[in-house]
Amino acid sequence: MSLVDSAIARFLPAVPKPLVRRISERYIAGEELDDALRVVHRLNRDGKLATLDVLGEEVTDPDEAAAIAASYRDAIDAFARGRLDSNVSIKPTALGLMLGYDVCRGNLESVVRHAAERGNFVRIDMEDSTTTDETLRLYRELREDGFENVGVVLQACLRRTIEDVRALAALRPNVRICKGIYLERPEIAFRDFEAVRASFVQALGDLLDNGCYVGIATHDEWLLQEGKRLVAEHELAGDEYEFQMLLGVRPALGDALVREGHRLRIYTPFGQHWYSYSLRRLQENPRIAGYIAADTVNRLLPGRNGDS
């Protein structure tokens, strides 16, 4: 992380809220479900799928965790009513993991069951490494209870990930593979950029070898090429894998994937907690603050679209 990035991250809480909102606008679909549904509709019209994230994490109030679960069930109903092509992505700590495993398990199962009854799918996001074991346990238990409409995330930055791929193989899991957003200790995580890329490629290759459906979640052009290479090598049809990107990040790369005929799903966060979410995300990973600063400068300069 550069000194400039750290300085930007430290400075963020001093940035006026309306400015943070303006900076975050392209990355967040709004405060209300209707705002998010409009964004999903637009994405679908442009040939993209969505996965909706109700903002909220590290929830410590059981009522709030239950309310977030209810918001997810409402969103799933709204997709069915509006014939929208979107599933949901859920952070275990938003459904109460910090209140106890069983609280989270109960809330999560209510959403997964609701989705199953409506032919929809739930992705369990992966948070920092203190939650990895419990998150994988949630996934495993739901699968063992017969839910097929649930998937999990593995983070290439974690040294354990290749072993997790092996341990999960018998379940033929539906996995999103990503680099991992959380800053982890070097004893458990690769810090070197190329090592994370190599781990990503290895995990993706192993997952595809095991016949898994994989969501290849990255904006890294080199990894996108590697993803395309591996998908071609495995002779996968268009509906046997997908690429995934974050709302507002490198949209031209996403458009190119769609033009080439790949399935692309856009991670679409929305909700009241946009401010704390934005600050936390930006501070947790100061590199993102760097991207955003660079992107904002790019957009202010004539002739640049911020997507380079």
Q: Point out the residues that are catalytic.
A: 125, 176
Q: Which is nearer to ligand FAD, 81 or 205 (CB)?
A: 205
Among 244, 257, 293, 306, binds ligand FAD (CB under 6 A): 244
Quote the least distance from Cβ 38 to ligand FAD, whole Å: 20
Could you say whether residue 86 binds ligand FAD (CB under 6 A)?
no
| Residue 152: closest CA among 72, 213, 211, 107 | 213
Among 9, 12, 116, 126, binds ligand FAD (CB under 6 A): 126
Q: Which is nearer to ligand FAD, 27 or 79 (CB)?
A: 27
Quote the least distance from Cβ 304 to ligand FAD, whole Å: 13
Among 84, 249, 257, 264, binds ligand FAD (CB under 6 A): 249
| Contact letters for ligand FAD, residues 180-219 (x by CB under 6 A) | xxx----------------------------------xxx
The residues in 253-282 that bind ligand FAD, with binding defined as CB under 6 A, are 267
Residue 169, number of CB atoms within 10 A of its CB:
15
Among 97, 115, 245, 289, binds ligand FAD (CB under 6 A): 245
Quote the least distance from Cβ 16 to ligand FAD, whole Å: 20
Q: Which is nearer to ligand FAD, 176 or 262 (CB)?
A: 176
Q: How far apart are CA 26 and CA 28, in angstroms?
A: 6
Q: Which is nearer to ligand FAD, 86 or 155 (CB)?
A: 155
Kindly tell me the sign of the dihedral angle through the C-alpha atoms of 108, 110, 116, 119: negative
Q: How far apart are CA 252 and CA 234, in angstroms?
A: 26
Q: Which is nearer to ligand FAD, 96 or 269 (CB)?
A: 269
Task: Answer yes or no: are the C-beta atoms of 26 and 33 closer than 8 Å.
Answer: no
Burial 185-208 (b: 16+ CB within 10 A, else e): eeeebbeeeeebbebbbebbbbbb
Find the distance separating the first CA and the last CA of the chain, reported in whole Å: 20
The residues in 151-170 that bind ligand FAD, with binding defined as CB under 6 A, are 153, 155
Quote the least distance from Cβ 55 to ligand FAD, whole Å: 14
Binding window for ligand FAD (CB under 6 A); candidates: 4-12, 162-170, 184-192, 245-253: 245-253
Strand pairing partners for 50? Answer: 86, 266
Q: Helix count (H) and strand count (E) of the chain?
A: 12, 8
Beta strand 49-54 with 264-270 is: parallel
Task: Answer yes or no: are the C-beta atoms of 212 and 176 closer than 8 Å.
Answer: no
Total of residues contacting ligand FAD (CB under 6 A) = 24
Q: How far apart are CA 170 and CA 89, in angstroms?
A: 23
3-state secondary structure at position 306: coil
Q: Which is nearer to ligand FAD, 62 or 222 (CB)?
A: 222
- Maximum separation of any 2 CA atoms in the chain, in Å: 56
Residues in contact with ligand FAD by CB under 6 A are 125-126, 153, 155, 176, 178-182, 217-220, 223, 244-246, 249-250, 267, 288, 291-292
